Amino acid sequence: MGSESQKGTFMKIYLANPRGFCAGVDRAIDIVDLSLKKYGAPIYVRHEIVHSRHVVNSLRHKGAVFVEELNEVPEGSVVIFSAHGVAKGVWEEANRRRLHVIDATCPLVIKVHNEVNRDYTQGYDLILIGHAGHPEVIGTLGQVPDKFHLVSSVEDVEQLHVETTTNLSYVTQTTLSVDECRDIVGALHRRFPHIKGPHQEDICYATQNRQNAVKELSKLVDVILVIGSPNSSNSNRLRELGEHCGINSYLIDSAADINPAWLKDVNAIGITAGASAPEVLVEEVVAYLKTYGAGEVEDLTVIEEDVEFLLPKELITIDPASKSVAAPTR
């Protein structure tokens, strides 16, 4: 869909804005950085702090040790819980082993956990819309011991068996496709007319904004490159959305993943980045594309983001002078 005026000239680059780091990711990375300054290496981090190979490798180089389970952490050590949140059982194990926990769970995920605990206490059966196996989903399901059902599609809703159709509520994973989630919520309301949902949408502002930016990109470009790691849920949703809009879309971890064949006969190319991808990767992709004849670079701004989340109290007084990775353009 590149414009006619660009044919026979340099390939034009459109940069989606907003893209890259969200407030929850910024906060999580700062928590690891500041914890290293305050307590020194090693600092243990349960699971990847955010789903970005670049960020994880950068923090590992500084002295962060990434583990999957707490039994890999020496008793009494400092451990950080990732932005995705954890089940209550993980907190209990940390307390048993006298670990010093610093919680980097995104405040928007904590909001979902609070909704789950409130509704469970009030006697509701619960439904989580999300993708099985994702760390955020595991953490949310682990907030309560029972009466929790996971659905990932309209078909799952149609096949769902629940004990009650009156006291029923749902929450969602924060990084879903807005459009896909809307379809599943619609199916829940059709099947269970009295189901209760959250007061505000659980899908986070950054996920919605980045998806809206991809929809706008798709009106202008022939190809979309989504910068993000393969295990990043929100990055995968961006690639799927680009395809849904009829544009060839590719998920790349860095410029090294670009296949030159994707650029053949392309007049305009769009670039976006998942919420865990640093801006330095965007800059590298732009530089790479310029070696293949890309010329003008234009920001396509859908909305300006100015959200910030507070750090844990024990880290607020530390000077965050140096960052591990480049900050995003906002």
Alpha-carbon gap, residue 23 to 309, rounded angstroms: 6
Does the annotation count 48 as an active-site position?
no
Name beta bridge partners: 149: 127
Sign of dihedral through CA atoms 173, 178, 181, 186? positive
Alpha-carbon gap, residue 85 to 190, rounded angstroms: 31
Catalytic residue among 48, 115, 136, 305: 136
Please give the helix or strand (H or E) that residue 150 lies within, else none: strand 148-151
Task: Give the CB-side neighbour count of residue 289, counting CA atoms within 13 A.
Answer: 29
Alpha carbon of residue 36 to chain centroid:
24
Q: Please confirm whether the linkage preceding 193 is cis (ω < 30° from 0).
A: no
Residue pointed to by tokens 């090294």: 256
Alpha-carbon gap, residue 135 to 226, rounded angstroms: 21
CA angle 203–204–209, rounded 5-degree value: 105
306 burial (CB, 10 Å; 0-12 / 13-18 / 19+) is: exposed
Gap between the terminal Cα atoms of the chain? 27
> DSSP for 48-111?
-SSS-HHHHHHHHHHTEEEESSGGGSPTT-EEEE-TT---HHHHHHHHHTT-EEEE---HHHHH
Instruction: Write out the two tokens for 241.
Output: 């959305």
CA angle 178–179–182, rounded 5-degree value: 85
Active site residues: 136
